[in-house]
Amino acid sequence: MSPTTLKSRIQLKVRFNECDPLQIVWHGNYLKYFEDGREALCIKHGISYLDMKQHGFATPIVKSSCEHKLPLQYGDTFEVETCFQPADSAKLVFTYKIFKGDKLVCVGETTQVFLNESKELVLINPPFFLDWKKKMGLI
């Protein structure tokens, strides 16, 4: 297990337009909250969408999952805790926990891969990414 853990925590508020006729956040909108959490972590640590782009890579999501424990409603304030999960292969894995106060609302995970400028899947870790991992104390 890696000695370093990259984590971030942001606070968000449920928008009216994110709720459905059941008066709760529509399940698909949690992926937006995960994206907000992931972006906060990635910007903080220099591996955001724009950083990747500068290095010639796009990192589309190839897998996502979400498990709901409690609903969120319009007006609720909540926190997204995002955690970078080091992987050996050339991918980016993040896990998410959403909390309303001290209650766990949902958990999730996403996996991203690297595409080069020709939109081809890159199977080995790009050098800049290995450098970044070293700098972060992850390898």
* Positions in the binding site for its own copies (CB under 8 A): 15-17, 19-24, 26-29, 31-32, 35-36, 39, 48-50, 58, 60-68, 71, 74-75, 110
Distance CA 31, CA 110 (A): 9
Q: How many CB atoms lie within 10 A of CB 10?
A: 15
Nearer to its own copies, 126 or 130 (CB): 126
Cβ proximity to its own copies, 35 vs 125, nearer residue:
35
Angle at 7 between CA 99 and CA 39, to 5 degrees: 85
Catalytic residue among 20, 51, 88, 102: 20
CB of 19 to its own copies, least distance (A): 5
Q: Which residues contact 72 (CB under 8 A, 6 or more apart)?
A: 14, 24, 25, 78, 98, 100, 105
Question: Catalytic residue at 102?
Answer: no
Distance CA 62, CA 122 (A): 13
State the minimum distance, in angstroms, from the CB of residue 133 to its own copies.
23
CB 93, min distance to its own copies, A: 14
Active site residues: 20
